[in-house]
Amino acid sequence: MNTPQVQATILIILVPLMFSYAIPLLGWRWRGSAFFVALAAIGASMVCSFILLYTVLTQGTIHYHLGGWLPPWGIEYVIDPLNGFVGVVVCVISFLVTLSSKESVQKELPDKKVRFYTIYLLLFTGLMGIVVTGDVFNLYVFLEIASLTAYALIAIGEDGAPLASFNYIIMGTIGACFYLLGVGYLYIVTGSLNMADLAKLLPPLYHSNVVLIALAFFLIGTAIKMGLFPLHVWLPDAYTYAPSAVSAFIAPVMAKVMAYILIRVMFTVFQPSYLIEMVPVASILSWVAAAAILVGSIMALAQKDLKRMLAYSSVSQIGYIVLGVGLGNKMGLLGAYLHILNHAFMKGCLFAVAMALMYRTGKRNIFQLGRIHRRMPFTMAALVIGALSMIGIPPTAGFFSKWYLILGSIDARNWVFVAVILISSLLNALYFFRVIENAYFEGVHGHSQKEAMDGIAKVREEVPLSMLIPIILLAAGILLLGLFNERIISGILVFALPPGF
């Protein structure tokens, strides 16, 4: 099978990789070109990802053997409906966020533009590599590419960013090293690094403690990387202090890719029967996730800084995805998949709005927003749509993933999780309506009211079109995904379920 569609598997990472080296070369002469090169590369990857998803759905799983070496020995890239879907999500969100980043980067990092987009594109390469690869060690290499570039991008932010980045380096390295140890333990017992091969070799060895320890290392490693509740300490600082364009890119995309690793390891390398029946890993994960949902929401309620609030809300939303995975039934897993898509759009939209606010006003304190809707009506409308979706108001996308997660909890006969999801939705409503209230009405706090009145502009001052259009597209995406969620579930996601569901 060597059709042009199959070549898209390698082009999806080769194009951004090569273009990331072209950026400093071109940027040396034409500084303005960096943004366009990065956008073109991500656009090309996006086209490839659509081709791949279409091919997978019509012709079945794609295998690409690097250098012609056959799977157990060589590195293999595999595209099945699950990573075809995640690839499209990552590409589309990255494209829209990159499109909106132009003016913000120009304002926040004027003399670092060329270097910024070089590293930015490498981060995108790393994330796409994680998505397409079918080899556990190759995944580690891409994981480190993505992490190293993310450390660098966070460190160039405002005051406090270098320390946040250093803490992320320490935590992220522990996570990646645990993942590497997991690979090593599996290699001892099987002698293989290929995911499909491991899945075949492992079932007879399920009684072994080595396999159990490998699984524990994998889970803790990926949990640190995605910021699951007790291991999330690096996440709020990193998202808050990073440049606005970086948090808008990392927050929606990176945690989703890490959640994808978790799903891939749990349901491709290991089998659902092992995780659910032989060791109670799945139920431990879902209880941890339930704690993450509540703690993230409560912490978000206590924040004044918009970006920090969104970061804690991310902690809680990652809990939703892991809860769906941990439930280990069809509805729960569909909810988790759908939430990967929906949350990427919601967080992309909300962080892009935060970026627009930083660009126009330089303020992130939610009590200083004071009637900002007069200045930026469209941006604030996008914020409202994103917020309603996070709360889970029906026509928006957020409602449907929560709906499936609740159905999954009911299927698992676990009423505590149903209660957790409902309580968390109420908490979401509390902290997002606080933002909406401050953005649309006069401040109720005496001190901020005066500031707010001064800040009211008589004229409309929308952000530039290059920032506004992606924000509106993301907000429209939230509504469309909500309306067409049935199509996505029955057309793509049911094929992405692991066998036996």
Partner 1 sequence: MIEYLMSKYNYWIYVVLMMIGFYAMMGKRNLVKKLIGMNIFQTAIILYYISIGVKKGGTLPVVMEGATRAADYVNPLPHVLMLTAIVVSVSTTGVALAVLLMIYRRYKTLEEDEILKSMR
The nearest distance, CB 425 to partner 1, in angstroms, is 34
181 binds partner 1 per the rule CB under 8 A? yes
Neighbours of 487 (CB within 10 A): 10
Please answer whether residues 140 and 392 qualify as being in contact, where contact means their C-beta atoms are separated by less than 8 angstroms: no
Q: Pick from 10, 26, 57, 180: which binds partner 1 (CB under 8 A)?
A: 180
Distance in angstroms (rounded) separating the CA atoms of residues 439 and 57: 43
CB of 91 or CB of 148, closer to partner 1: 148
Strand partners, 77: 64, 133
| Three-state secondary structure call for residue 194 | strand
CB of 25 or CB of 188, closer to partner 1: 188
214: tokens are 């490998």
CB of 141 or CB of 294, closer to partner 1: 141
The nearest distance, CB 487 to partner 1, in angstroms, is 41
CB of 174 or CB of 301, closer to partner 1: 174
Neighbours of 462 (CB within 10 A): 14
Of 224, 219, 357, 231, nearest to 295 by C-alpha is 231
378 binds partner 1 per the rule CB under 8 A? no
CB of 176 or CB of 420, closer to partner 1: 176
111 binds partner 1 per the rule CB under 8 A? no
CA distance from start to end of the chain: 29
Strand partners, 401: none
Using CA atoms, how far residue 286 sits from 236, 336, 343, 425, in Å, is 22, 12, 18, 17
The nearest distance, CB 78 to partner 1, in angstroms, is 20
174 binds partner 1 per the rule CB under 8 A? yes
Residue positions counted in the chain? 501
CB of 25 or CB of 170, closer to partner 1: 170
With CB under 8 A, what is the number of residues at the site for partner 1? 24
Q: Pick from 70, 170, 457, 483: which binds partner 1 (CB under 8 A)?
A: 170
Distance in angstroms (rounded) separating the CA atoms of residues 380 and 354: 10
CB of 155 or CB of 340, closer to partner 1: 155
Torsion of CA 304, 308, 310, 314, to 10 degrees: -140
Q: Pick from 36, 50, 54, 187: which binds partner 1 (CB under 8 A)?
A: 187
CB of 96 or CB of 193, closer to partner 1: 193
Q: Which of residues 119-138 bind partner 1 (CB under 8 A)?
A: 137
The nearest distance, CB 174 to partner 1, in angstroms, is 7
Of all helices (H) and strands (E), which one includes residue 468? Answer: helix 465-483
CB of 141 or CB of 276, closer to partner 1: 141
152 binds partner 1 per the rule CB under 8 A? yes
Q: Pick from 56, 90, 132, 148: which binds partner 1 (CB under 8 A)?
A: 148
Residue 55, C-beta contacts closer than 8 angstroms, at least 6 positions apart: 5, 6, 8, 62, 79
CB of 247 or CB of 428, closer to partner 1: 247
Residue 476, C-beta contacts closer than 8 angstroms, at least 6 positions apart: none
100 binds partner 1 per the rule CB under 8 A? no
Instruction: Give the type of residue at 454.
Output: D
163 binds partner 1 per the rule CB under 8 A? yes
Please answer whether residues 362 and 450 qualify as being in contact, where contact means their C-beta atoms are separated by less than 8 angstroms: no
Please answer whether residues 61 and 5 qualify as being in contact, where contact means their C-beta atoms are separated by less than 8 angstroms: no
151 binds partner 1 per the rule CB under 8 A? yes
Angle in degrees, 0-180, between the axes of helices 306-327 and 330-360, rounded to the nearest 10: 170
The nearest distance, CB 147 to partner 1, in angstroms, is 8
Neighbours of 451 (CB within 10 A): 15
Q: Per CB under 8 A, which region of 32-40, 182-190, 317-325, 352-360 contacts partner 1?
A: 182-190
Using CA atoms, how far residue 51 sits from 79, 83, 392, 426, in Å, is 11, 13, 32, 40
The values of phi and psi at residue 497, to 5°, are: -65, 145
184 binds partner 1 per the rule CB under 8 A? yes
The nearest distance, CB 180 to partner 1, in angstroms, is 6
The nearest distance, CB 19 to partner 1, in angstroms, is 21
CB of 217 or CB of 229, closer to partner 1: 217
177 binds partner 1 per the rule CB under 8 A? yes
173 binds partner 1 per the rule CB under 8 A? yes
Contact footprint for partner 1 (CB under 8 A):
137, 141, 144, 148, 151-152, 155, 159-160, 162-163, 165-166, 169-170, 173-174, 176-177, 180-181, 184, 187-188
